[in-house]
Amino acid sequence: MNVRPRGRERDPRGQASANDAGTLSSKSPGNCGLPSGEPEADTASAALLDVLRVADTFDVEINPRAMSTHYHGSPREVLALDTFIKLVRATSTVNAHLHGPLLAEHGLTASQLGVLETLLHLGPMPQTRLCGKLLMSGSNLTTVVDNLERQGWVRRERDAHDRRVQNVHLTDDGRRLIEELFPAHAARITETLGILTRDEQRELGRLCKKLGLGVAG
């Protein structure tokens, strides 16, 4: 398996931004981290991020024969590496299958879709809360929202009760866009995960949640 860093998305000013997955660190000044008391990401796209963020960070050159590690370590290390390779390979394939059409047909990245979907289902919210919902860094989310705002799909407004807070809203055009495309995206997710039985999907979800929460501490 050959793994190389994924290319960085550039904003319209020509500056490279972090890729869609972002890097979480609640101690970093530029990152939101998970707000205290916030539930974990709960929209359909964000729920997949436990699985997909590995593939968002790395491009994997898929070799059908390279299903396991060539590292000669301890049995525990070999098992962990084999499992990780399968996870990355599966997430890379699923990510490309699900988000490729969105980019080709609508020019939307996975993170842009996540922002639009979250605002559609949960309503306007501050950028800091969006960070927690989508598990994204503050600087990364700012670039994503900037690009959506330039497209006319979202707008920022100062909070009436706290002028320091900017809430992100869907515009009429943004609402029409996400309401039009999301049913097809949900159907594509359903079809893709239909490779697994319902019990297997539940088990996969349980294991992904256990792994993600265990790593996050």
What is the bridge-based pairing of β-strands 154-158 and 166-170?
antiparallel
138 within 8 A of 114, measured Cβ to Cβ: no
The structure's pTM equals 0.65
The residue with tokens 């990245």 is: 109
Instruction: Identify the helix (H) or strand (E) that includes residue 75.
Output: helix 75-106
Q: Give the pLDDT score at 149.
A: 97
Q: Give the pLDDT score at 11.
A: 52
Rounded Cα gap, residues 182 and 37, in angstroms: 28
Q: Give the pLDDT score at 90.
A: 94
Rounded Cα gap, residues 184 and 102, in angstroms: 10
Give me the domains of the chain, ranges plus CATH numbers: 42-211 (1.10.10.10)
DSSP assignment of 127-169 equals HHHHHHHHT--HHHHHHHHHHHHHTTSEEEEE-SS-TT-EEEE
Q: Which parts of the chain have pLDDT scores under 50? A: 1-10, 12-31, 33-65
Q: pLDDT tens for residues 7-64? A: 444 454 444 443 443 333 333 333 454 333 433 444 444 444 444 444 444 344 444 4
DSSP assignment of 23-70 equals ---TTSTT---PPTTPPPP-SHHHHTHHHHHHHHHEEEE--TT--S--
119 within 8 A of 153, measured Cβ to Cβ: no
Q: Give the pLDDT score at 160.
A: 83
Question: What is the SS3 assignment for 184?
Answer: helix
